[in-house]
Structure 1
Amino acid sequence: MTLTDTQLLAWVQQFVWPLIRISALFMIAPVLGARAVSPRIRLLLALLITVVVAPLLPAPPVTALLSADWFSTLLQQLLIGLVAGFVLLLVFEAVVMGGELIAFGMGLGFAQLADPLRGASTPVIGQFLTVMATLLFLALGGHLILIEMIVRSFATLPVGSAGLGIDQMGTLLRFAGIVFSGGLQLALPLVIALLTVNLAMGVVSRSAPTLNLFAVGFPVTLVAGLMLIRAGLPALQEGIVQLLDEAWVLLGALLRL
């Protein structure tokens, strides 16, 4: 049996387009796209999912190699995958932002740790909250939900369709404000409590001018901050889960699920 060039191209594109969309997701998605995860593992996982999913999808329209339609389809698959991962990445950036605000309130803004998920330095409190968010993400099956949603997107945004439009991208840009609003939402109770501690230390220093505020204030603020974080863990957990829920709702709307 001899395959024509058109049949061969159709067979290749049946696997290539899903692979590009899924690989784009794994490039940027939190946890799955972390720098600590080897690119080979990400590629193998994308290949495995593609091999399982591609035969079940409707045949995409055949486009000539390097034609305008080919480049348009390529960009659409990359965009869909990157947007799906970017939505969840914004939540983790909001968590880091909240951790930075808390760290500055505790006087730990100078204490930086290498973050393997982001590939950058993060204040120690931000690193702690990032680890907590990662564990919550995995415990709630976030990685499986993300893979399921990108697979289901082939039914709602099939290869060769118009894909994501201007309205969807505008919605995504508005959601990007969650980095600041979500981070402030997580950190605000602790920041206010730490501000109260600092005000109390200021009153004490006025009452006892001989007291070395720099020698006493930092340990007190540090201990108070750690105690407040311990007491506020349930609230922090609830806040992170709420941010993840908002991300799932938006992602479902963008992918038309």
Structure 2
Amino acid sequence: MNIPIDFAWLEATGLAAVRTTAFLFLAPPFSYRGFPSRIKAALGVGIAIALSGAVAPGYEPLATGPFILALLAQLVTGALLGFLVTVCFSAVQSAGSLIDLFGGFQLAQAFDPQMNVNGAQFTRLFQMTALALLVSSHGYALILAGLARSFSAVPVDGMIALDRPVELLVDTAGQLMLSAVQIAGPLLLVLFLADIGLGLVSRVAPALNAFAMGFPVKIMLTLVLAGTVVLALPNVVGALTQDAVELLIGGVR
């Protein structure tokens, strides 16, 4: 029994699987290390098969050398697009790091191997909350839709122009700190005013030892007011998801 094999479809789907798998290993929420690597790889192949009807038509089989170069090109393309999404969502982690720094939690720093985050309590809390919101709000579906649209701009036998993603990375990195300050800004302002107040107290009544009082006061203020920042995270994650989709589309244009 002869089973016909469409090598053009097989090659095109394989190249698409390389791009999607590289993307899933870097882009949130799929980059979370709690998800086994084999599941990410299987999901990447499944997405590539689902997109095969869009990527295979018009594809011509390549020789061995050009095919290997095309594999590397798809690996670079998927990694760049995934890194763009990662940088976009790093604003939430940076906001948590600022709160830990100003609130005095930075002394209890630890490493979370699953989130691949090195930070204190609010850094990991914000990162985990953003991940949960991204899954529960189906934001991951928008990110995958942006990835699917990248195949229309850069086919599986093409190479992404590196100047555009690099330009977007520079612009996004410049906005990263601003976004983090905007997220944690109200709480940082309160903690800054608390520092000023404790400084004035130490000048008026040195016997109170305002330096020793500073740690429990700032920790209490952080715990009491951090809920307002957490309540704003759903809107923040929604806006970051839209930004990530725009970066995906803009990165391949």
Question: TM-score if structure 2 supplies the norm length?
Answer: 0.87
**Is 1:111 aligned to residue 108 of structure 2?**
yes
Which runs of at least 4 in structure 1 moved beyond 4 Å after TM superposition? 1-4
Aligned Cα RMSD in Å?
2.4
Any residues of structure 2 matched to 1:1-257 within 5 Å, and which? 9-57=7-55, 58-65=57-64, 67=65, 69-256=66-253
SS of 2:51 mapped into structure 1: helix
- Bigger shift: residues 229-238 or 98-107: 229-238
Paired AA for residue 38 in structure 1: P
How many Å separate the matches in 1 of 2:53 and 2:243? 32
> Residue by residue, what CA displacement relative to the aligned partner does 1:138-171 show, whole Å, maximum 9, x if unpaired?
2221211122222232223212234334234322
How many Å separate the matches in 2 of 1:127 and 1:120? 7
Are the structure 2 counterparts of residues 116 and 168 from structure 1 closer, same or farther at C-alpha, using a change threshold of 3 Å?
same
Question: TM-score if structure 1 supplies the norm length?
Answer: 0.86
Count of residue pairs brought into register by the alignment: 252
Contact 1:108 1:123 in 2 (8 A): yes
Contact 1:95 1:186 in 2 (8 A): yes
SS of 2:119 mapped into structure 1: strand
Q: Which 5+ residue runs of structure 1 have no aligned equivalent? A: none
Paired AA for residue 77 in structure 2: I
SS of 1:30 mapped into structure 2: coil
Contact 2:88 2:172 in 1 (8 A): no
> Residue by residue, what CA displacement relative to the aligned partner does 1:60-85 show, whole Å, maximum 9, x if unpaired?
232111x1x32432232112211221
Contact 2:34 2:114 in 1 (8 A): yes
Are the structure 2 counterparts of residues 35 and 192 from structure 1 closer, same or farther at C-alpha, using a change threshold of 3 Å?
same
Give the % identical residues: 28
How many Å separate the matches in 1 of 2:243 and 2:145? 17
How many Å separate the matches in 2 of 1:138 and 1:166? 31
How many Å separate the matches in 2 of 1:79 and 1:244? 22
Paired AA for residue 93 in structure 1: S
Contact 2:33 2:115 in 1 (8 A): yes
- Bigger shift: residues 244-253 or 102-111: 244-253
